[in-house]
Amino acid sequence: MMENNHHVDFDVNIAQQSINEQQLINPPTIAVVYHSNYGHTRRVAHSIVSGIVQEGVMAQAIDIDELDWDYLDNANMIVFGSAVYMGSVTAEFKQFMDSTSKRWFERGWEGKWAAAFANSGGLSETVKQTV
Ligand SMILES: Cc1cc2nc3c(=O)[nH]c(=O)nc-3n(C[C@H](O)[C@H](O)[C@H](O)COP(=O)(O)O)c2cc1C
């Protein structure tokens, strides 16, 4: 019985070690790409990033005015965030969406995890619609 337990522990350790080695070679990264004219959505984006980093995962907040396409292309997950202007994403965020059309067409981001958030002045319905 003792020996069985010992054997199981040993296997778990090896499995854990190989996961850690894999993560050292290619650590998972999350990009939080956002647009904010007045700073509210930026604050949300930065809090999301600090929450992720506290969990030990690499993450970066990326303002769409300073896009880092390599980081987005290589990220395992992209979180999209926009302020709500006139019931939808901001014009600048829509422009960013349009600029991903080649990647969309070529399925360049297939297999990534994704999430979205929006930040509005009040109406939660407009947030849901925007997300
Ligand atoms: C041009 C403009 C349009 C807006 N339209 C909406 C809207 O349709 N619904 C809403 O709830 N809030 C609306 N708001 C309020 C913003 O969503 C809110 O102030 C948000 O926190 C701004 O985010 P930001 O500071 O990241 O730019 C609007 C604000 C602006 C400046």
| pLDDT score for 123 | 72
Residue 61 lies in a domain: yes
Residue 8 lies in a domain: no
Measure the CA–CA gap between 25 and 71, rounded to whole angstroms.
16
Residue 10 lies in a domain: no
Contacts of 90 (CB under 8 A, 6+ apart): 35, 37, 82, 83
Number of domains observed in the structure of the chain: 1
Residue 118 lies in a domain: yes
- Gap between the terminal Cα atoms of the chain: 54
| pLDDT score for 6 | 40
Measure the CA–CA gap between 59 and 65, rounded to whole angstroms.
18
35-76 pLDDT per residue, tens: 999 999 999 999 999 999 999 999 999 999 999 999 999 999
Q: What's the predicted TM-score (pTM) here?
A: 0.84
Q: What percent of the chain has pLDDT over 90?
A: 71
Residue 18 lies in a domain: no
pLDDT confidence band for 21 (50 / 70 / 90): low
Which amino acid makes up residue 27? Answer: P
- Best substitution site from 63, 84, 129, 131 to test ligand 1's pocket, by max atoms within 8 Å of Cβ? 84
Residue 91 lies in a domain: yes
Residue 125 lies in a domain: yes
Give residue ranges with CB within 6 A of ligand 1: 36-41, 83-87, 119-123, 126
Residue 5, pLDDT > 70, answer no
Residue 79, pLDDT > 70, answer yes
What residue numbers bound the domain in which 78 lies? Answer: 28-130
26-36 pLDDT per residue, tens: 789 999 999 99
Which amino acid makes up residue 35? Answer: H
The residues pairing with 81 across neighbouring beta strands, listed in sequence order, are: 34, 117
How far away, in angstroms, is 88 Cα from ligand 1 center? Answer: 9
Residue 77 lies in a domain: yes
Are the C-beta atoms of 83 and 127 separated by less than 8 Å?
Answer: no
The H-or-E segment that residue 53 falls in is: helix 40-54
- Best substitution site from 64, 120, 129 to test ligand 1's pocket, by max atoms within 8 Å of Cβ? 120
CATH number of the domain to which 124 belongs? 3.40.50.360
